[in-house]
Each structure stands twice: as structure tokens, then as C-alpha cells.
Structure 1
Amino acid sequence: MGALSHIRVLDLSRVLAGPWCAQNLADLGADVIKVERPGAGDDTRHWGPPFVKDSQGNDTAETAYFICINRNKRSITVDISKPEGQEIIRELAKESDVVIENYKVGDLAKYGLDYESLKKVKSDLIYCSITGFGQNGPYAHRPGYDFIIQGMGGFMSVTGEADDFEGASPQKAGVAIADIFTGMYASTAILAAVVHRDKTGQGQYIDMALLDTQIAVMANVSSAYLCSDKVPRRWGNASPIIVPYQTFPTSDGWIIVAVGNDGQFKHFVTAGGEAHLAENPLYINNPLRVENRKSLIPLLEIMTRRKTKAQWISLLEAANVPCGPINNFEEVFDNEQVKARGVQIEVPHPTAGVMKLVASPMRLSETPVEVRMAPPTLGQHTEEILRERLNLSPQAINELQTKGIT
């Protein structure tokens, strides 16, 4: 039994931030019902290739994007634009503890499915709205896209090669960090609201914004600006205050070298057969290495290209120089530590046969995370949920399907 096995969640969200939040709750044991549009479903069901392959190696209809954020959920299709569909959502909300949605500000009020409407049928309801810019302010009605938020929230201003590097430009992250962090914060906020409800009997409304989150997770970078009024700049993979503390090319890939003191620098260059660099008056201590990085780094890159990535990791670990590889994803999942931790899992799936997923990183000793269900096919559990939650007869369920409500 998961820690949240007593919690019911109605997930009206699509794409990434909301589904990521709901999946966290589902992994912890919550019963999550994912509401999707009949015939189309969540947008991410169509964001392929790549698609999951079946046992014969043929593409299924399941996209890699959708399956990464929707395990442990049940899928029901409901057309909320129709009164009958709205009534189904209200009845499901009445039986739920939490509602999660990421519609544009004001959209669900048109259907009577906003917080003010639903708390009339469930007074202690916890209702979490996720939008790009929040429920108030001049940008509230703008759509919020992760890429745009990474730019507006300052992340891209400090990500990418420095301006004096050829071809330098601001860069986004390789994954939608504003969406994912917002989903994580939303999960935490919902858990806090559950604790508060259990103590007081009061539900509440949670207003989550991607822009707020993106600025918050800039952490020391945001704080540095507020403390100094100096605008942070891009440094690429280098540190502005420690040299060498960056990526280096090898003969077959890239490594990270994080030299934190003069002794580690000496061990680094000695391992590479260039011990004289540690005695060079231009590089003898960190302040001088920072001052003379433009002449030092090319020399170090010549040195690191002489050996393979694996050779460097072995040499530097033996010399107690902090380092690590930059792995592609074949190397990630082949890593002995990743295998030991069981990060890749396999679950049965109705169309794929066996589906490969990434395990939740949450490890709880008494209430362990469990993959109870593979990501659902579209509407896979519609009849089951209508019978179980709303006590509808087969005839009533068939009528809803005939009308295109479900």
C-alpha cells in the first residue's frame, strides 16, 4: 500500500507539468483518473516519433513522450464541452480529494468546473491550477510554453557558451525544466494541502505558475543578482571563479573535470603527462589560472584529447581528482550504478506487450513506490470508472458512448 493509497486524484491536465505532478502522486499510491478528450486524448499521445514498439518490433500508437508521464493512472474519455460530460466531471470530483488542471485562466469556469463551482459539491476539495503565468497579473491570460518561460525566467541568459566564444548564444535546457519543476512544486503543495485538510477539514486552491517556478529554481543565480544588482552572464560549462572546472574533450567523448584546489590541479596535469603546467608561474594557483584561462584551457584540451574517456576517468579517480563522464543514453542505461539501482524497469502493456520505463527515484522504506499500471491506452478504463465511481448501468454507459460524451 502506497503512502497515498487513500487519496483520489482527478487529473484534468495535459502535456507535461500537470501530468508530471499527477504521476508523482500516483507513484506514491494515489488513485489517479486521467481525463482525456474522446478520440484524441492528451496532446502528447501524438508527439511522436519515437513510438513504443511491440514484441515484433512494430510501432504502436503509444509515444515515448506520453508514457514517461502517465504510468499508474487510469484513463477515462469525457467531452467536457457538453453538459453530460460536465456532470460526469462534477460527480467524479465529488468522489475525489484532489483536482489538477492546466487550462487557460477562466476556461473551466465556462463549464462550471472551476474551483468555486466544484467546491460546492466537495467542500474540502484540493484544487490545483497550473498555468504559465498564474491566475493574476497582466500576463495571466497568456498561454505558457516551457521554452518561452526558460527565456523569460532568466535561465537561458546564463545557459550557453560565454559571449566571447565563437558561435555563442543563449541555450535552453535539453528537457522542459520549467514544466517539470512546476510539476514537482505542485506535488509538494498538494501534499501540504492534504496534511492541512486532514488536520482541519479545509480544502484549498493552489495557484502554480511556470514563470514563478522558473525564477525560483534559479536559486543562487537569482539571489546573486538581488544581492549585488549585477546581471549574471553565461559561462557555458566553465566556472567563473574556479579553473579548470569544466568539460574537456577526450579522444572518444567528453569528461567533466572539477578541480577545486591547487593540489588537484597538479594531480590532473601530472596524470596527463604535463606536470610542468602546475609549476608554470601563470597557472600556479587558482586566481592566476582564472586570470590566464584563455591560454591554459587550450593546453589542457590538447592534453585531454590524447586519452579516451574511460582512461581519463580511471586515472583521475585514482588521483582523487573530481571527475565524471558525459554519457549518452546508451551509456547511461548501461552504467553499473544505474543497473544496480534498478532505474530501468519493464511493465506489461496491452499493445506493446512489455514496455520499458524509467523508475521513480523516490525510495521509501515503509511505503515503497510501486508501478501498479502501465501508462493507459486512450479511454482504457472509461467503463470501469463509470461503473465503479458513478454506479452507471451498462445501458447508461453505452448511451454516453453513442452520444460521443465518453
Structure 2
Amino acid sequence: MTTDRSAQTAPAIGPLVGIKVLDLSRVLAGPWATQTLADMGAEVIKVERPGVGDDTRQWGPPFTTSIDGTRSDAAYFMCANRGKKSVELDMATQEGADTIRKLAMEADVVVENFKVGGLAKYGLDYGSLSALNPRLVYCSITGFGQTGPDAHRAGYDYMIQAMGGLMSITGQPDGSDGAEPMKVGVAVVDLFTGLYASNAILAALMHARSSGEGQHIDIALFDVQAAMLANQATNYFVSGKAPTRMGNAHPNLAPYQPFACSDGMIIIAVGNDGQFRKLCEALGQPDLGLDERFAKNAERVANRMLLSPILNALTQPHSMASLMKLLEDYGVPCGPINRIDQVFDEPQAIHRGLTVEQTRNDLSAPLKTVASPIRMSKTPVRYDRPPPALGADNADVLAKLKP
């Protein structure tokens, strides 16, 4: 593993330097959005419940360890809160709500993920804060959005993966061993929601900069999940047939799946007819690439049950390493099925600096997080602050507030 030293030592020219974000969100979708903004230079002030903080500080094991050997924050919290300042404020008190309003008056952006209407009783809703700060970009993240029959419902990633159709196309097909709808191994709806939110925030900031006018952004996990269906949704719209679970097969491409080797499996991802012919040449069967049953992608998809065992018989004698080298020489996309520890040992991951190492004074060891995938030639991302200890910035932030 490596530290992204270049990002840590880059000059303070992040594209969002000078933008102040008031982060009232917790768990993952909101914090993922605000971490993206922090990586790009925004000042992000994370407001947390006194003595408790973001729920995910307790979402473990595993937990980090304090210098005195006691348990500290969960790894889950660390993944989404890099680059932020932590302030403890109780919005249920008059003093706490007043302080948050003062912070909002100085902010460019507010991000929150409370239930619809949940902040109005504290005077912290969009209407109340935009009256104090008309240029404010206010992003609300909820399960189902600000309107509609389900707007009042809470929404969590797992249930949205189910309700939004993702689980119906994930897992082994009916009739196979272990056949049941499956969730994805990370909270992809939350992560996509964070990315959509950060994109919307940046667009709204451009509008605010040109017009002086802020706006309310309404981002719903359910809407995001529907958008994530992408080609699968359009497959349904065009065909009238709901896609089903296909295991590791692709609904629109073949071969695009794992294949057996003598010491494991690799993924072969053929995206066009030319790549398929190259695959057949690499495996010593050039005529297979011209077979009318398989020469065109549509025919390969229709005849995948015939094609897959033929290809498996050709790949099995090879080791994973030898087959990947062979296919790479022929220009056929392929790759190993890595464990997470193997991902960060990949030479490409090391070269790209995909691990960020930071220190926090109260922790017994350096903290590692995954680097931002954003690479910008003039305004690189920076990693100036580790995920904060609860309330670490109370004095600094509050002392700077205007009376």
C-alpha cells in the first residue's frame, strides 16, 4: 500500500477553495457527497450530536484504537468523513439551533439527510435558512424525496436496492444453487446518491455564482436506484420484459463472465466482435470466431449456453497468470477476481496512489482511506485533514462565528 504523497503536498489550489459547506448529514450518502467536496478543497463543517456524533462512529467492528489503547471510531465512519471539521451542536436546543443558523448564514452549501420536514421545527429547513442566506445551495437527501406518497418514509440502502429493482437482477438465476435476490457488497445506492448530490451541488453553485440565487436540491435514494438501472431499465422499456438474475452473465454481451483456469478464475470481458475473434485466436481456435452461431454479438448472446462450455474447456488448461498474459497480448480485456487486500497490492493501484495515509493525534496508528479517483491537472485534490475526532474543531469554528 502507498500514500498519495503528491496530493498531500500539492499547493492549496483545490477547485473548491473558498467554498464553505455546512454538513448536517450522517451515515453514508450525505457524508460521501461532502467528502467529495472536501477533497476538492471546500471547507466542510460537520455538525454532530454532542457526545454521540455520526451514527457510523459506532458501526463496527472494526474500530480504530486510541493512543491509550481504548476503542475509537469505527472504520465505517473513517471511509466517508476525510477532510472535515467536527463541531458538536444540539439542534434541539435554542442555542444549538441559533449557532447552526449562524453557520448557515456564512455557508455556500448545506447538506442534510433528515426525514422530510424534520428540520422545520428547528428553523433549519430550506425555507428558513434561504430567507437568511438567499445564495444558499441547500441539498436534502432522503429515501423517497420531498414529495409523493412515500415521502414520509425512511429509506436505507438495503431496502432501496430491493424496492428499486437492483436485487431482482443480482444473484444466481432461479433453479441454480444459492438462487435468491442478492444485495451488492457495498452500499451502492448511498454511494451513487452521494455522487449525484455532489454533482447537483456543483451545478447549483455555478448558478448561484452567476445569479446570486441559491436553490433547494431534492435527491432521493429511490430515484437514484431507478437511474442506476441504466441499460437494464431500457432493456425493459424496449422489450417489455423485466430483466432477471443472470449470475455473472451480462444481459447484452457474451462472453462477458468468469472463466475457469487451472488455479482459479479470471474475468473475460468481450465488448465487440473483433475482440471475440482475437479471443478465439488466442485460444488456438480461430474458426470459432467465424462460426455463424457466435460471429456476431447478438448470436453469442442467444447461444451463450452453447458458447460458455466451449470456452471454459479452452481456458481450463491455462494458469490465471499465463492466460491473462496471453489475452493481453491479443488485446482481449481480462482481469483477476481480487480480494480487497489484493486490490491495493496491484501495481496499478500502487502507481495511482489509491491509498491515502494520514495521522490523527488521538489514534495509535496512521489511518488509511481510499483516495479520490478524481485526477485534475491544474487543481488536484488534497488530503489535508483526516476524518475528525468528535468535536475536535469546536473551539476553532465557533470562535470565528460572527456574533
TM-score for both structures, normalised by structure 1: 0.88
Task: Quote the Cα distance in structure 1 between the aligned partners of 2:255 and 2:175.
Answer: 18
Is 1:381 aligned to residue 397 of structure 2? no
Partner of 2:215: 204
| Counterpart among 111, 114, 125 of residue 122 in structure 2 | 111
Residue 104 of structure 2 corresponds to residue 88 of structure 1: no
C-alpha contact 1:244 1:259 (8 A) present in aligned 2 = yes
Q: Does 1:357 align with 2:357?
A: no
**Distance in 1 of aligned mates of 2:274 and 2:20:** 56
The aligned residue for residue 165 of structure 2 is 154
Tell me if the contact between 1:60 and 1:351 (Cα under 8 Å) persists in the aligned partners: no
Matches within 5 A, 1:178-217: 178-217=189-228
CA separation of 1:282 and 1:140: change in aligned 2, threshold 3 A: closer
Note the C-alpha offset of 1:91: 1.1
List per-residue Cα deviations over 1:190-248 (Å, max 9, x = no partner).
Answer: 11111111111111111110111111122222223223322222222213454322112
Determine the structure 1 residue equivalent to 2:239: 228
* Paired positions, count: 390
Question: 1:175 Cα deviation (Å)?
Answer: 1.2
Q: In the alignment, does 2:347 pair up with 1:331?
A: no
Moved more, 225-234 or 147-156: 225-234
Give the whole-Å Cα distance in 2 for the aligned partners of 1:255 and 1:379.
47
Given the alignment, which residue of 235, 243, 249 partners 1:238? 249
Matched, 1:348 2:356: no
- 271-280 vs 362-371, which deviates more? 271-280
For residue 309 of structure 1, what is the amino acid of its counterpart? M
Cα contact 2:67–2:362 (8 A) shared by 1: no
The one of 55, 63, 68 aligned to 1:43: 55
**How many Å apart are 1:272 and its aligned residue?**
4.9
How much does 1:89 deviate?
A: 0.7
- Match status 1:17 vs 2:50: no
What 5-or-longer segments of structure 1 have no aligned partner? 392-406
The CA distance in 1 between the partners of 2:41 and 2:15, in whole Å, is 6
Q: Distance in 2 between matches of 1:87 and 1:104?
A: 21
1 CA distance for matches of 2:313 and 2:70?
45
Within the candidate set 37, 44, 48, 1:32 is matched to 44
Q: Which moved more, 1:44-53 or 1:276-285?
A: 276-285
Q: Distance in 1 between matches of 2:204 and 2:290?
A: 59
Q: Where do 4+ consecutive residues of structure 1 move more than 4 Å?
A: 53-56, 260-267, 269-292
Q: Structure 1 residues 288 and 203 mapped into 2: Cα distance closer, same or farther (>3 Å)? A: closer
1:132 aligns with 2:133: no
Root-mean-square deviation (Å): 2.5
Deviation at 1:271, TM superposition (A): 4.6
Residue type of the partner of 2:393? H
Q: Does structure 1 conserve the Cα–Cα contact (< 8 Å) formed by 2:20 and 2:107?
A: yes
Larger mean CA deviation between 262-271 and 29-38 belongs to 262-271
In the alignment, the residues of structure 1 paired with residue 89 and residue 264 of structure 2 have an alpha-carbon distance, to the nearest angstrom, of 49
For 2:229 and 2:197, how far apart are their aligned partners in 1? 17
How far apart are the structure 1 equivalents of 2:322 and 2:66? 39
Match of 2:20 in 1: 8
CA deviation vs aligned residue, 1:271-311 (integer Å, no higher than 9, x gap): 55677866888767766654543344234334434333222
Q: SS of 2:366's equivalent?
A: strand
| 1:205–1:25 CA distance, 2 compared to 1 (3 A) | same
Identity %: 52
Instruction: Indicate the SS of the match to 1:13.
Output: coil
Q: Which residue of 1 aligns with 2:7?
A: none
SS of residue matched to 1:334? coil
Residue among 188, 204, 223 paired with 1:177: 188
Tell me how far 1:323 sits from its aligned partner.
Answer: 1.3
Within 1, Cα distance between the matches of 2:342 and 2:70?
Answer: 24
Matched, 1:79 2:90: yes
Counterpart AA for 1:142: R
Amino acid aligned to 2:111: I
**Equivalent residue in structure 2 for 1:293, among 304, 307, 321:** 304
**How does the TM-score come out when normalised to structure 2?**
0.89
Native 8 Å contact 2:66 2:72 kept in 1: no
3-state SS of the aligned residue for 1:24?
helix
Structure 1 pair 136–264 and aligned structure 2 pair: CA distance change class (3 A): closer
239-248 or 106-115, which deviates more = 239-248
2:132 aligned counterpart, secondary structure: coil
